[in-house]
A and B are shown apart, each in its own frame.
Chain A
Amino acid sequence: GESVGLHLPTLSVQEGDNSIINCAYSNSASDYFIWYKQESGKGPQFIIDIRSNMDKRQGQRVTVLLNKTVKHLSLQIAATQPGDSAVYFCAENTFASSGAGSYQLTFGKGTKLSVIP
């Protein structure tokens, strides 16, 4: 079946460097994507989202890039800080099969980001 996956399960970066976390998706009909951050013992926290009519969106220290041609999503974190250490999930929008017009998110397995002080 269609799924969302991640290229790298773990990523270690030096404090102050930029981080890039990649994600591949296979459902060409997906039109909405979200990045979440999950710290130990907590639920996923919304970071940034992007709709399929965009190829780039910026937030505070984060940028999401969407390449629909190769079905690839990436999250860039500028000047990575120790507080950025967490597991990062990408998620894609999938239409609910019941036809109610809303969505359910399909999540990848996550990338663990470790920041080296």
Chain B
Amino acid sequence: EAGVTQSPTHLIKTRGQQATLRCSPISGHTSVYWYQQALGLGLQFLLWYDEGEERNRGNFPPRFSGRQFPNYSSELNVNALELEDSALYLCASTPGQYNSPLHFGNGTRLTVT
């Protein structure tokens, strides 16, 4: 069974540009979560999508947005990039059942220069 896949693996952008990150969940999983992992820090919750709807978002500005497609894949968009947006962005999926563990992809390393 294929795990969570993310693309691209690395992304370099300049300040002010927009970045788009993509995620394909494990087959059969309907919920997708996005986390930001800045260097030396833990994982910070960004967004949660389930059945195509945004269910919750973390304490991030509105320039962080995303969507979930009918096939349950997801996109994270970051507008007006700032230097501090440089981080590893992790996507995770679950089957949507309460108290089931998140399964993570290997992330997209975003570097803003």
Residues of A within 8 A of B (CB): 31-32, 34, 36, 41-46, 49, 51, 89, 91, 93, 96-98, 100-110
Contacts and interface: CB of A to CB of B under 8 A. Distances in A.
B85 to A, nearest CB: 19
Contacts of A106: 45
B106 A102 contact: no
Contacts of B4: 43
Interface in B54-113: 55-56, 58, 90, 92, 96, 98-99, 101-107
Contacts of A100: 50, 55-56
Contacts of A49: 99, 101
Given A43-B104, A109-B42, 19 more contacts: A41-B106, A42-B107, A43-B4, A44-B90, A51-B99, A96-B56, A98-B56, A100-B50, A100-B55, A100-B56, A102-B31, A102-B55, A102-B96, A104-B33, A104-B58, A106-B45, A107-B35, A107-B42, A109-B41
B11 interface: no
B48 A102 contact: yes
Give the interface size class of chain B.
20 to 34
Interface of B: 4, 31, 33, 35, 41-43, 45, 48, 50, 55-56, 58, 90, 92, 96, 98-99, 101-107
A100 B48 CA distance: 11
A110 B42 contact: yes
A97 B101 CA distance: 19
Contacts of B106: 41-43
A91 to B, nearest CB: 8
Contacts of B56: 96-98, 100, 104
Contacts of B101: 34, 46, 49
A35 to B, nearest CB: 10
Contacts of A97: 56
A49 B99 CA distance: 9
B107 A31 contact: no
Contact of B50 (A42, A43, A93, A102): A102
A89 B41 CA distance: 11
